[in-house]
Structure 1
Amino acid sequence: MAAETPCAELAAAEPSPEELARAEAEAAAAEAAAVEAAAAAAAAEAAAAAAAAEAAAAAAAAEAAAAAAADAAAADAELERRVEEEQAAEALSDGEEATAPKDWQRFYMGFHDRFVNDCVLELRGGRVRVALAQAPSAKVAAKVAAQRAAGGGKGGKGGGGKGKGQGQGMELDKASDPALTGTTVWDGAVVLSHFLTETSVLARNAAPGPGPSRQPGGPPQAPAGPPQAPAGPSQAPEPYAYSGLALPTVLELGAGTGAVSLALATCRAAASVTCTDLEDLLPHLRANVARNGALLPPGRLSLQALRWGPEGEADVQALGPVRPPYDMIVGSDLIYYSYTPETPHSQLLLWTLRRLSGPHTTVFLSLSLHHNPEEVEQFLGWAAEWFHVLRLRRSIPEEWRVPDVLVVRLTPRRTKLGHPGAEAAAAVGEAGVVPGDKAAAGAAGEARC
């Protein structure tokens, strides 16, 4: 019996199957825990790396934004300096300022010539003739406006009238818009059409300056083709930022009869012209485009409906075939109502200019001082927050330079419209409307544009 004891002890020392299974389970659990711990450590390491990368990216973005803001501020300072120099160069002496109306000024014409009869723009020394119909629907409203304007003294500031001008505080009757303002050729359109097509202002590498002038007893002298920058091996024409060509992409706001758009397109002074106004005015625009169809290069001009302000965002999205931003935005005789919540046109115009402009966009506006000179000044004050404003006098050819039409050039402030995020601030929402004035945005659909 004593010899069997060691075997019994060995048998008793062997683990049971249950114990073996438990040990294996514990080992597997330990291994799984180790794997989980390793995975957690790897995840923590990856999260730390991602957080570090995100922080580095955020820091880099902040640094880039700061650098962009600094560059924009420096660019604005340089632009401000240049505009101040240009403004000084634009000044005229007392003897150079015109005091009497010129024979082409429509404001001083008789009723039929001013409102009813066709208007013909003779451009490039008469080599390009753009015929513009004025809608019959404007006749009644025009007659009322003309009667109201008659006997208005000397026309207020810059009027130079002889009993035919409007008083400085007089405004167009709101009921006549758009039947009157949108289907009549105004002096601002005449001035801007000649300025853009008969000077070097659109030629790259050419400083703005006076264009052709009328010699006593003779017709205006102008080049046969579009204005060109000085040729030379070291000075090839610099392409525009958005067209990539030596000619700009142009959008006209509030085109009315289409005078400025047709002038640019028929003179081949733009790579493309997008002519815009309210939907109700497009039939009249189409008729004038068709009337001048023989002069138009194929595909050069397109018509689009465009309301100003946030309510017109759908129209902005539908613009084409050329999309914003544009190399150039132009408009004439766009300001005539005093700003109120019911007539927020000036603020909606500014909103639209911001919406459609890029950092390299140039805006030219030709503004009548007969309609509402106080509102013109108020608009330019608002615009100065977003654009560098240059009032052009000497650059306007002498024949078309009159004191009651103000041509201004607006170039975007890079700190507002020229660095990342700046454009977005003007793109959507009620930016550009006077703070607290919610009614302005709601009235956007009523604005002529």
Structure 2
Amino acid sequence: MDICQTDAQGDEPTARYATACRTSITLLKERNAEQFLAEEQLAEDLHNDVDGGGPKDWQRFYMGYHQRFVEDCVLELKAGQLRVRLAQAPSAKVAAKRAAEGRNGKGNQQKQKQLDKASDPALTGTTVWDGAVVLSHYLTETGILVRQSNLPYAYSGGSLPTVLELGAGTGAVSLALAASRAVASVTATDLPDLLPHLRLNVGRNSSLLLPGHVHLQPLRWGPVGEQDVQNLGPVRPPYDVIVGSDLIYYSYTPETPHSRLLLWTLRRLCGPHSTVYLSISLHHNPEEVERFLRWAAEGDDGFYVLRLKASIPQQWRVPEVLVTRLTPKWAAAAAAPIPQGLDSGDGGLMHRAAMRGNAGNGDAS
């Protein structure tokens, strides 16, 4: 049956025609997206093991206690010409926890543990982890975030993106991006209790930053953080790029639902043209990482998931850190226009509409 029926007056395409046309364009774009993703994944060469050979000297996981948790961490960017210095302070949290146990006895230790998980899963927020190191270098050294002027970002309107970091912690990734002039703006978010330490590191690196380019905001994950989402500013969602490093530690349970809450927040902050980069240290909980990525790919409101390897500079490519790129599946539906002004006698209608839809997606990463 011809889908290009006209209404009773024969003037305009019917609603049925418009719906069918939009559906066809969407399906075409989804097939193209899946095919392109498969080609990209093949090019990442995940099964090539030539990058082995033991830990690299920059990997924090293999350093001593003081280097990993106490001393400043220095990110050397642009071949050492740019140095971002990050204070670490987990000792304050450890001391507070031990003091609470000493005062309150064993009976309150479980309550303290639950509070620790609620405010800072695994007490990681004031430590620089390998995932942050890898992501910082990948995003600043490859030029992946810089676009041609004729293909600007959808939300910034320019060649550099608006960026939001989830679970920023010490601010390593956000400060690397801002100091490298790789973003139009960056909004670093974390739990309210962790913002003072994040603010400290922003201040320590202020000479490297352009005024007004770094913003700090509290953001809890999941529905409980909806008001935090509403209060984000001065740059509002959606964002061109969302980043996060080492955000997955605990296995999903009703008591520790962090993976599900993270996914909820990603969907809430993404627009159809957003791109998400997550860097995850696999030392912590590789099974939960796989479960999270599987959940992320599910459903029409999920993401196309690309695992990166070959595109990461070799010096920062290690098997213990997984970098992934997530792009919204709903971009296809959002970008599919309803053709206007085409009559039922146009035999090339569907092809022309599909081509128009594809041309409108030139800024997809």
Distance 1:348 1:417 in 2: 25
Q: Distance in 2 between matches of 1:58 and 1:329?
A: 40
Tell me the residue number matched to 1:318.
Answer: 231
Q: CA shift at 1:391, angstroms?
A: 0.2
- How big is the shift at 1:75? 1.5
Q: Which residue of 2 aligns with 1:121?
A: 75
How many Å separate the matches in 1 of 2:169 and 2:276?
18
Asked if 1:189 corresponds to 2:143, the answer is: no
- Displacement of 1:202: 1.0
Q: Given the alignment of the two structures, is residue 88 of structure 1 paired with residue 88 of structure 2, yes or no?
A: no
Give, in angstroms, the shift of residue 133 of structure 1: 0.4
Query: Looking at CA atoms only, which structure, 1 or 2, has the larger radius of gyration?
Result: 1
Separation of aligned partners in 2, 1:175 and 1:244: 37
How far residue 137 of structure 1 moved from its aligned partner, in angstroms, is 3.7
Q: Distance in 2 between matches of 1:307 and 1:175?
A: 10
The equivalent residue for 1:269 is 182
Unaligned runs of 5+ in 2: 1-6, 99-115, 337-365
Q: Report the CA distance between 1:174 and its aligned residue.
A: 4.3
**Correspondence 1:98 to 2:52:** yes
Distance 1:417 1:364, change over 3 A: farther
Structure-to-structure mapping, 1:290-309, within 5 angstroms: 290-309=203-222
**Does the CA-based 8 Å contact 1:364-1:408 persist in structure 2?**
yes
Question: 1:172-200: CA deviations, max 9, x gaps?
Answer: x9489357311100000000000000002
Secondary structure class of the residue paired with 2:186: strand
Q: What is the CA-CA distance between 1:128 and the residue it aligns to?
A: 1.1
Cross-structure match for 1:389: 305
Instruction: Give the partner amino acid of 2:137.
Output: H
Unaligned 5+ runs, structure 1: 1-51, 145-172, 206-235, 421-449
1:72 aligns with one of 20, 26, 34:
26
Within 5 A, what are the aligned runs for 1:124-163? 124-138=78-92, 140=94
Alignment-mate amino acid for residue 73 of structure 2: C
Partner of 1:211: none
Cα distance, 1:98 vs structure 2: 2.0
Q: 1:280 aligns with which of 193, 218, 229?
A: 193
C-alpha distance in 2 between matches for 1:345 and 1:189: 19
Shift of residue 138, structure 1, vs aligned partner = 4.9
Shift of the 112–139 alpha-carbon distance from structure 1 to 2, 3 Å rule, reads farther
Q: Secondary structure at the match of 1:360?
A: strand
Q: Alpha carbons of 1:417 and 1:121: their partners in 2 closer, same or farther (altered >3 Å)?
A: farther
Q: Write out aligned runs for 1:194-273 (5 A).
A: 194-204=137-147, 236-273=149-186
* Matched residue SS, 1:358: strand
Q: Which residue, out of 120, 124, 143, partners 1:177?
A: 120
State TM-score, norm by structure 1: 0.64
Whether the aligned pair in 1 keeps the contact of 2:188 and 2:214 (CA below 8 Å) is yes
Which structure: greater strand fraction? 2
Determine the C-alpha separation between the residues in 2 that align with 1:176 and 1:325: 25
| TM-score, structure 2 as length reference | 0.78
CA distance in 1, matches of 2:48, 2:74: 32
What does residue 357 of structure 1 align with? 270
Letter in 2 for 1:402: V
Counterpart in 2 of 1:163? none
The alignment yields a C-alpha RMSD, in angstroms, of: 2.7
CA distance 1:244–1:134, shift in 2 (3 Å) = same
Out of 252, 264, 274, the position equivalent to 1:339 is 252
Amino acid across the alignment from 2:269:
L
SS at match of 2:165: strand
Which secondary structure does the structure 2 equivalent of 1:418 belong to? helix
Q: Deviations over 1:238-288 (max 9, x none)?
A: 211110000000000000000000000011100010110011111011000
Counterpart pick for 2:314 among 383, 398, 411: 398
Q: Which amino acid aligns with 2:325?
A: R
CA contact (8 A) 1:115 1:142 kept: no
User: For each residue in 1:88-114, what CA deviation from the matched residue of structure 2 results, as whole angstroms up to 9, or x when unmatched?
Assistant: 010156452324111100000000000
After superposition, the C-alpha distances for 1:278-299 in whole angstroms (9 at most, x for unaligned) are 1111101100000000110011
Aligned pairs (5 A) from 1:51-70: 60=15, 63-70=17-24
How far did 1:72 drift? Answer: 2.5
Q: Which has the higher contact order (CA 8 A, sep 6+)?
A: 2
In the comparison of the two structures, how many residue pairs are matched? 308
User: Structure 1: which amino acid aligns with 2:230?
Assistant: Q
Q: Are residues 344 and 92 of structure 1, via their aligned partners in 2, closer, same or farther at CA, if it must alter by over 3 Å?
A: closer
Identity %: 69
Give the secondary structure class of the aligned counterpart of 1:282.
helix
**2:282/2:321 contact within 8 Å kept:** yes
Residue number among 317, 334, 355 corresponding to 1:418 in the alignment? 334
